[in-house]
Amino acid sequence: MSDQLDLFDPRPGLVGKDHPDTSAAAAISVMPRTGTQRRKVLDHIGRCGYDGATDAELQAALDLSGNSQRPRRVELVEAGLIIDSGRRRAGHIVWVLS
């Protein structure tokens, strides 16, 4: 069994296995659509795994300006999809999947 999260499975971090299907459906409804900047930020953080990514790293990896990337990250935090890892790199917050 792999410990790697599946970004297409809404249950890890969002819905417990003992929650009803309606909770899973609600979690799916808040997932960003493929191809959007928000989804690109989410997918990149997911690919980074435990190492996570800072805002500056996300901007460089995804070729996004800070004015485009930061609001997408805030939306993901507010949706409960990513969290502050509690770690810092070069003084910046490292974001990981929730």
Q: What is the chain's pLDDT, residue by residue, as a tens digit (98 residues)? A: 444 445 544 444 454 555 566 655 555 555 667 678 999 999 999 999 999 999 999 999 999 999 999 999 999 999 899 999 999 999 999 999 99
* Domain residue spans of the chain: 33-97
- Note whether 55 and 41 are within 8 A (CB): no
Query: Please, which residues bridge with residue 96 across strands?
Result: 83
Class of 33-97 in CATH: mainly alpha
Q: What's the confidence (pLDDT) of residue 10?
A: 45
Q: What's the confidence (pLDDT) of residue 20?
A: 61
Q: What's the confidence (pLDDT) of residue 72?
A: 95
End-to-end CA distance of the chain: 20
Q: Is 88 helix (H, G, I), strand (E, B) or coil?
A: strand
Rounded to 5°, the CA angle 95-5-23 comes to 95
